[in-house]
C-alpha cells in the first residue's frame, strides 16, 4: 500500500494518506473529504466539542468554514478545489444533504471510493485520474483551444515568469478581456486563480524534492518564503512544513503531455 501521495492537476490538489490530525481550522479553498478505508467524523460545532460529531464517508467543506475532523488511524483523502471553480459548484449539487453549511455524502460515491482504493494499492496515477474525474463529474475542457492550452503549458513550465495577463493575452494574440473569457471557459477558473494553483504546485513539488522553502518559493514565483508559506496556509489550512512531515510521494510524477490541460504538473 502506498503510504501517502499528493497530486496537483489543473486547479486541484488531492492528498491521500494518513490524516493530518489538525485542530479545528479553515481553508481558503473547498475540501472534499473522504474516508479512504471507512467512515470518519465531522464536528457539529468545532467551537463546542460537546455538540458531538457526524459520522460520514464523504463531506464537502465550503471555503473559509471552521471545521474539525476525526478519523483515528484510518487514511483520508482530501481533494482541494478552488471556491470559484466549476468543479466546486458541480460537487455542491452532487451532495445528498447539508448540515450547518457542510454538505454530506456524495450521491454516487462508489466510483470515487473505488478509484481511491486503486490509488492506495499503488495503481499509476495516470490511470486512476480519469476515473476520479469521471466519478466526481469534474470540469472537462470546453474545446481545447490551442491558444489557452499554450498558456497553460507556459504557466506550468515557467511559474515564476512575470508579465501577468498582458503577456499571456499578447502571446495568444487576443485582447485581455477575450483571453480571460476563453481561459475561464476552458479551465473552469479565472486566470489569476489558476496561476496561483500552478505556482503552488510547482513550489510544493520542489520542496518535497528536497529544496529549501526559500528556494522553492522563489522558483515558483513567490516573492519570499513567507509569501509562499502564507499563501499555502491560507489555501490548505496548515504550514508547508506540516505537509513535508508526511513525506508524500512525488506530485504528479508523470511528464506533461502535448495537450496538458488538466494533466498533473
**Do 5-136 and 146-244 show the same overall fold?**
no
Q: Model confidence over 110-157: pLDDT tens digits?
A: 999 999 999 999 899 999 999 999 999 987 766 679 999 999 999 999
Residues 6+ positions from 174 with CB-CB distance below 8 Å: 147, 182
The CATH code for residues 146-244 is 1.10.10.60
Supply the DSSP string of 217-235, one letter for each residue.
HHHTT-SSHHHHHHHHHHH
Cα distance between residue 88 and residue 93, in whole Å = 9
pLDDT at 142: 61
Q: Are strands 102-106 and 95-99 parallel, antiparallel or unpaired?
A: antiparallel
* pLDDT tens column, 199-227: 999 999 898 888 999 999 999 999 999 99
Q: Give the pLDDT confidence of 150-184 residue by residue, as tens digits.
A: 999 999 999 998 888 999 999 999 999 999 999 99
CA angle 7, 233, 96 (to 5 degrees): 65
Instruction: Band the pLDDT of 254: cuts 50, 70, 90.
Output: very low
- For domain 5-136, is the CATH number 2.60.120.10? yes
Sequence-ordered list of residues with C-beta below 8 angstroms from that of 126, at least 6 positions apart, any chain: 254, 264
pLDDT in tens, 30-77: 999 999 999 999 999 999 989 999 999 999 999 999 999 999 989 999
pLDDT at 251 over 50: yes
Whether the predicted pLDDT of 96 surpasses 70: yes
Question: Domain boundaries in the chain?
Answer: 5-136, 146-244
Amino acid at each position: 500500500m502506498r503510504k501517502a501521495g499528493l497530486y496537483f492537476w489543473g486547479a486541484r490538489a488531492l492528498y491521500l494518506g494518513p490524516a493530518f490530525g489538525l485542530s479545528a481550522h479553515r481553508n481558503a479553498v473547498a475540501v472534499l473529504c473522504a474516508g479512504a478505508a471507512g467512515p470518519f467524523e465531522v464536528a457539529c460545532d468545532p467551537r463546542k466539542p460537546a455538540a458531538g460529531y457526524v459520522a460520514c464517508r464523504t463531506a464537502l467543506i465550503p471555503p473559509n468554514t471552521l471545521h474539525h475532523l476525526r478519523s483515528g488511524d484510518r487514511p483520508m483523502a482530501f481533494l482541494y478545489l478552488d471556491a470559484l471553480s466549476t468543479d466546486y459548484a458541480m460537487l455542491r449539487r452532487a451532495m445528498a444533504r447539508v448540515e450547518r453549511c457542510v454538505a454530506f455524502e456524495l450521491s454516487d460515491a462508489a466510483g470515487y471510493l473505488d478509484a481511491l482504493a486503486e490509488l492506495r494499492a499503488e495503481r499509476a496515477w495516470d490511470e486512476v485520474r480519469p476515473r476520479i474525474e469521471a466519478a466526481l463529474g469534474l470540469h472537462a475542457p470546453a474545446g481545447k483551444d490551442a491558444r489557452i492550452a499554450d498558456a497553460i503549458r507556459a504557466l506550468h513550465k515557467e511559474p515564476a515568469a512575470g508579465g501577468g495577463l498582458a503577456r499571456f493575452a499578447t502571446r495568444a494574440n487576443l485582447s485581455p478581456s477575450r483571453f480571460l473569457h476563453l481561459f475561464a471557459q476552458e479551465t473552469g477558473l479565472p486566470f489569476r486563480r489558476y496561476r496561483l494553483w500552478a505556482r503552488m504546485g510547482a513550489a510544493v513539488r520542489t520542496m518535497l524534492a528536497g529544496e529549501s522553502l526559500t528556494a522553492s518559493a522563489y522558483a515558483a514565483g513567490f516573492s519570499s518564503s513567507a509569501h509562499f508559506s502564507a499563501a499555502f496556509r491560507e489555501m490548505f489550512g496548515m504550514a508547508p512544513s506540516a505537509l513535508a512531515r508526511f513525506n508524500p510521494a512525488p506530485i504528479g510524477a508523470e511528464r506533461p503531455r502535448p495537450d496538458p490541460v488538466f494533466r498533473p504538473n
